[in-house]
């Protein structure tokens, strides 16, 4: 998937970071990320805060996507809303597991995660 996919995230309303674009089942509260046009009818669009806890990460030194230049730190993160997602970190430092992270948009509009200040 293209990291600049507009279904992934959007600028946060407060100008700080980004929100993740998801769907929620109003009956059960179950979340689906990313949004998909193929989901069940009746799902409502929601924005997730983009706050997460880093579970694990690894640095890739080989190209994995067109236009993405290594090295690249990919991570598994648990969003505060409970979903576990994979993401790309800002920079090339591997923070330790448990680090609090937030979603941001990079200069190209791609969704990335960085440590919270």
Coil, helix or strand at residue 31: strand
Give the mean pLDDT of the chain: 89
The string of DSSP codes covering 91-104 is: SS--PPTT-EEEEE
pLDDT in tens, 56-99: 999 999 988 787 789 999 999 999 999 999 999 999 999 999 99
Q: In this predicted structure, what is the pLDDT of residue 6?
A: 62
Q: In this predicted structure, what is the pLDDT of residue 1?
A: 43
Quick one: how far is CA 29 from the chain centroid?
20
The DSSP element (H or E) to which 72 belongs, if any, is strand 72-79
Cis peptide before 53 (omega within 30 of 0): no
User: Of 2 and 72, which is predicted with more confidence?
Assistant: 72
Residue position matching structure tokens 């505060």: 80
User: Of 38 and 23, which is predicted with more confidence?
Assistant: 23
């Amino acid at each position: 998937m293209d990291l600049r996919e507009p279904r992934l995230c959007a600028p946060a309303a407060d100008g700080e970071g980004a929100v993740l674009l998801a769907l929620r089942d109003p009956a059960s509260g179950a979340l689906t990320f990313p949004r998909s046009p193929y989901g069940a009818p009746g799902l409502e669009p929601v924005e997730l805060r983009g706050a997460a806890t880093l579970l694990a990460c690894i640095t890739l030194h080989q190209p994995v996507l067109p236009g993405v230049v290594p090295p690249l730190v990919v991570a598994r993160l648990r969003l505060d809303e409970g979903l576990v997602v994979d993401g790309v970190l800002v920079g090339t430092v591997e923070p330790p597991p448990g680090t609090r992270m937030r979603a941001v948009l990079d200069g190209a509009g791609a969704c990335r995660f960085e440590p919270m200040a």
